[in-house]
Amino acid sequence: MSDAAEGKAAIGPLDVTRVMAALPHRYPMLLVDRVEQLIPDERIVAIKAVSINEEFFQGHFPGRPIMPGVLQVEALAQAAGVLAVESLGLAGTGKLVYFMSIDGVKFRKPVEPGVLLRLEVEFVQKRSRICKFAGKAYLGDDLATECEFTAMIADPPSV
């Protein structure tokens, strides 16, 4: 059955301005540059343009720059955050999406500067405050990173 037939029309592409409306992250921690497609309550396909100008490449590693695995997982989590915020209608509410757990992380290929890292994340389970996701990051057709993770929807800290 098509997405439209199920009443779940795809959204996208979304530029970085729309991404920043969904996420509190900003440079240098904003790791989603664009959303190619978002199907509410199902999945998201987003892009991280990996540039040699990223601060972490200065020390990871000199002479052999590789994007740290923890930042690859963070990029997947941020894509999941956009998916959750858009699916649950939370944009503009100030609600935050916090990591609770990360499971089964596997790094298959190094992520080097000059690539477009395609982030594909889908809901595994969705409740009002707790969501479980499966994520995969690709370099072209090659799987670079995969994991499952759980996140909590929380109120913003009181000021």
DSSP class of residue 61 equals: -
DSSP class of residue 91 equals: T
Nearest Cα residue to 144 out of 72, 49, 54: 72
Distances (CA, A) of 83 to 15, 34, 110, 159: 14, 12, 26, 27
Candidate list 25, 30, 49, 60, residue with the active-site label: 60
Residue 115's DSSP bridge partners are: 50
Rounded CA-CA distance 56/38 in Å is: 29
Rounded CA-CA distance 27/137 in Å is: 21
Annotation marks residue 60 as catalytic: yes
| Catalytically active residues, by annotation | 60
